[in-house]
Structure 1
Amino acid sequence: MHGGEPAAPVGRRDRRGMLMWWGPRALFVVGAVVLVVESSRGVPLLELYAALGFFGVCSAVFVGRQLGSGHEPGPGGRVPRWLLRAGGLLTTSGVVVLVLHLAGVEGDALPLVGSVLLLLGLGWFIEAWRGVEPGRPRRALLLWGAALMALTAVVAVIAALVLPEAKGGLYVGLLIGLGAALFVCLPLSLNLLSEWGVRLLRARRSAAGPGAGVGVIGILGLVVTAAVVLCCLWLVQRDWVLSAVLVAAALFLLAAIVSNTHADVALVLAGLCLLAAAPPEHRHPQALDPAGGQRVLVALGDSYMSGEGASSYFEGTDDGGRNECRRSPSAYAVGLVAAGPRFDRVLFLACSGARTYNVNPRSGAGRSRVQPGEPGTQIDQLKGVVSSFHPALVIVALGGNDAGFAILGEACLAPGDCETRRSLFLNNLPKVRQDLIATYRSLRQAVPADVPIVAVPYPQPIAAAGRCSGVALTKAERDFIRTFVEQIDTTMRQAADTAGITYMAEMKDSFATHRLQLCERRKGAAGVNFLDIETVNGLAAQRFSPAKWLHNSLHPNERGHAAMRDTFTAWLDAHPELLPPAPAGQAQATVLPAAEPEPLCGMTDDAVNAHCRVQLRAWELEQVRGGWPWLLLVLFGLAVVWAACIAVFGLLPGSGGSYRDPRSSARAR
């Protein structure tokens, strides 16, 4: 009777220990599953943020338990077999899912699910590896960590040298190898070297005795950490907010890696799933249905007309891989209808990325192509419904994509000075003028002769300022962008004059008039986005494509479109003769001049002589490769911050508790 009395308390302790050990881990897995499921569905932001908050709570409980209880796996420093088996199963499953995705197996969620499984599996492997013989700075940690780091460096160098010229299977193989090195070998090496460094510092502090103090290494670690925090604050104050976010993210991630918890897994998983956020969508209002309208505004053109740059779009128009017209309710064409009685409906056909051949009718003499997800070219769509309403005014903003403005933005953000490639852009403008003339003529034929057509130029996005904080462009690059926008607008005016349509010159100064240009005020208050990271709707392959995240950059935001709406309204007030009737001679086109010679090369992928774009891509790549000293400097800075994190965590006392499998504890007793 008495001999069995201690059994109950021991049993309760075993059950409590098992609950305390398994509970936080199971909670973390549940939170990860909820977040992955919600992200895979592409849910609205509020729903995703709720899932992210739940995952954050689960992660905090698990990481807090890890920090408080240590990482000793079991008696004698043995790793629980189930931990290795679970890590192996998760890692293998993740690799299989990703291979299936690369092999073409259909499944929108495959990339996300595979990445998360691989991430969790590697996290559990690292936990087991770092938990062996706790407290001892084992040489194996140093050797394995250094070997994996060296392997990563070798693969990265080979990829940098060979990848630009590789093709076919070699190209794919190098990409896979580089991905494995950066996302598998590098995290493993950082974790192992971090564990070795923290153990070494703690062992030295323990050997020095309780009165050893912080020490020189600890002081340096604290100083560097404080310097990084101050750097983030300084960057925010100087309007380099995105840079501050990147620096802070690097600090948090490196600290999470050094902490010997699943905090790094939680951070990466949360960031990965945030990229799957589906921006809010708006239903099409009645005003977008032109049928029966008596004063319909017809809006055609590219992203500056469609409203790209806003935070939300009409449903079905921001669907990555299907329809990426990105028509926004904040676009100034929509705002003109809501602003007053001039227009009762709007036929909103403008589409992001549109070139002249996306507007031209299929039956015309020029090139014509339908954009993905659209039922026809913009003029063909207009001709199909024009008999059901009375158009009051047609506005069109077009030519920027033909001229290569989007490519210019990419080139100027690359290392090097994009101004040195100005001839590649300016030499293409005569061909753009001819294409615009043909498109304007086709548009003139598609609507009644008494309906005015207005060509709307692009507002000047950058102020002529000597200094510009927060915009990562040199003065020469900013001046060239200003010059190029002016040249595009001049080309548009010449084409409009030739085709006999109205040109609205006042729109060029819309941002300047409203003091919304970049370099005139802080980026957060400007009417133009500089670098704006925005997720997209659609397939997971599209939502996780980095090329899709910057689509809002160098485009007017809601403030910019409000200014453009006000400028257009004031212009209509100053030209009452436009609505109605059309100005005298509106339908009379001037004589078409002799065709300009074909430019040496075009700026579109499908141009007959598209090697201009190829040249520009090659130049960008060469600039990136030539910037290796800056890359080494960045890597050195990250290494210093990483070492500082190790020094700071080395100051913390090692946990005296035992982070072990309760079943192992029971067997030991």
Structure 2
Amino acid sequence: MLRRLVALALVLPLLAVLLMVADSPLREPLGPNRDAPAALVALGDSTMSGEGAGSYEPGTDGENDNWCHRSTKASVHRTKVAGVEKVFNLACSGSSSEQVGLTDGTNNTEISQARQLARIAREYRVTTVVVATGANDDPKFGDVLGACLRAWFERADCATGLAQQWRERVDRMVPKVRQALRDIRQVLHDEGYTPLSYTLVVQSYAAPVGPDLPFDLQNLAGCPLRTDDLQWVRDEAVGELAAGLREAASSVGARFLDLSRAGADHEACAGGKNPEREWFTRLMVDFDGLRDEVRARHALQESFHPNARGHEQFGRCMTEFLGTSARVASCVADRDGNLRPVPPDGD
């Protein structure tokens, strides 16, 4: 009798728990439905948004003070991924790594890109995320070119002083990019994704200018920059920036595509009298915008960014890279002049 009472005392609580579970509705699984359209999503700054390529999406060309300059010709729209039905470009010109990640702040009137990604991840099945960020953090690459422009006017040296502090600036950038990438992974995890259910790729930056340009274009008609400064940007600055970004990508298990040599022989002004072979914009001034006080502050914004031809080539290289299992590759021109992903030197 005692044994029956003890058994009953043990079983009754278990039955109560089972009844509670049976009467409770099952929790809806996280993530999109299995039949949700597959999506490719781009996050980052101007090099990913399409700054300089023109054809900007409505609402991103200064309307209501939004200057994200998302182009329909951006590289993400030239990137093909098997099975992907929808492409989203969340990248925004001027964004820092913090604005790509999970910040509560806004940039160009928009909430953080990671928070925008969360909304997409609920409705679509995100299979690929490409990111280009870091240049607007401590390196402040846009300011670097601005400083070198001033140096041309003042007949002064720009590269020497920058070179002495460049590595330190890149080193300070790395943890910020790493955090943004962790935020992206966290967002997808919270929405029910596993690391194996999507591909995360970090893309570096191409040198927009180089020393191999006609002397008669080293002025306000094209590229007012000193040869020594151009040499440093092409041969050192973008390479060291890429090394820092590769470190950040590796730390979160992301793949890495190096574009530091992608613009070789196609930089701004390198084409001379044949600008059609250039993949980057020359010095561009929005003269119409100068008449408007608000737009005047953005009159030079498109200068020295990849143009539509550049974005097409970057998209071509990214497409081929995503079709491989390689963790790291560099975009280098083949014999036909098209960018292809190749293993980096030493790998």
* Partner of residue 542 from structure 1, selected from 291, 294, 312: 294
CA deviations on 1:600-629 (whole Å, 9 max, x unpaired) are xxxxxxxxxxxxxxxxxxxxxxxxxxxxxx
**Which residue pairs with 1:295 in the alignment?**
38
Distance 1:296 1:538 in 2: 39
Contact 1:294–1:389 (8 Å) recurs in 2: yes
Distance 2:99 2:291 in 1: 24
**Which residue pairs with 1:386 in the alignment?**
121
Distance 1:428 1:576 in 2: 29
Alpha carbons of structure 1 residues 529 and 577: separation in structure 2 relative to 1, 3 Å: closer
Provide the alpha-carbon RMSD of the alignment.
Answer: 2.6
Where does structure 1 lack aligned partners over 5 or more consecutive residues?
1-291, 363-367, 579-669
Distance 2:52 2:214 in 1: 25
Where does structure 2 lack aligned partners over 5 or more consecutive residues?
1-34, 218-222, 329-347
* Partner of residue 418 from structure 1, selected from 147, 153, 158: 158
Contact 2:47–2:205 (8 Å) recurs in 1: yes
Aligned pairs for 1:12-91 (under 5 A) are: none
| Partner secondary structure for residue 312 of structure 2 | helix
Distance 1:491 1:361 in 2: 21
Aligned length: 274
CA deviations on 1:24-62 (whole Å, 9 max, x unpaired) are xxxxxxxxxxxxxxxxxxxxxxxxxxxxxxxxxxxxxxx
The code of the aligned residue for 1:336 comes to: T
Distance 2:98 2:245 in 1: 16
| Partner secondary structure for residue 411 of structure 1 | helix
**Which residue pairs with 2:57 in the alignment?**
314
Shift of 1:379: 0.4
**Which residue pairs with 1:562 in the alignment?**
312
**Which residue pairs with 2:102 in the alignment?**
361
**Which residue pairs with 2:275 in the alignment?**
524
The code of the aligned residue for 1:384 comes to: R
Alpha carbons of structure 1 residues 509 and 541: separation in structure 2 relative to 1, 3 Å: same
Work out which of the two has the higher radius of gyration on C-alpha atoms and give 1 or 2.
1
**Which residue pairs with 1:427 in the alignment?**
168
2:229 equivalent to 1:477: yes
**Which residue pairs with 2:91 in the alignment?**
350
**Which residue pairs with 1:25 in the alignment?**
none
Alpha carbons of structure 1 residues 325 and 480: separation in structure 2 relative to 1, 3 Å: same
Contact 2:50–2:75 (8 Å) recurs in 1: yes
The code of the aligned residue for 2:310 comes to: G
Distance 1:453 1:445 in 2: 12
**Which residue pairs with 1:258 in the alignment?**
none
Distance 1:353 1:493 in 2: 21
* Partner of residue 131 from structure 2, selected from 368, 391, 396: 396
Contact 2:51–2:70 (8 Å) recurs in 1: yes
TM-score (norm 2): 0.72
Shift of 1:535: 5.9
Shift of 1:348: 1.4
Shift of 1:534: 3.0
| Partner secondary structure for residue 510 of structure 1 | coil
* Partner of residue 239 from structure 2, selected from 471, 480, 486: 486
Shift of 1:480: 1.9
Shift of 1:472: 2.2
Shift of 1:429: 1.5
**Which residue pairs with 1:408 in the alignment?**
144
**Which residue pairs with 1:377 in the alignment?**
112
The code of the aligned residue for 2:42 comes to: A
Distance 1:537 1:294 in 2: 40
Distance 2:56 2:47 in 1: 14
Distance 1:480 1:336 in 2: 30
Distance 1:573 1:356 in 2: 27
Contact 1:321–1:542 (8 Å) recurs in 2: no
Distance 1:357 1:503 in 2: 20
| Partner secondary structure for residue 477 of structure 1 | helix
* Divergent runs of 4+, >4 A: 466-469, 535-539
Aligned pairs for 1:136-175 (under 5 A) are: none
| Partner secondary structure for residue 417 of structure 1 | coil
Shift of 1:473: 1.7
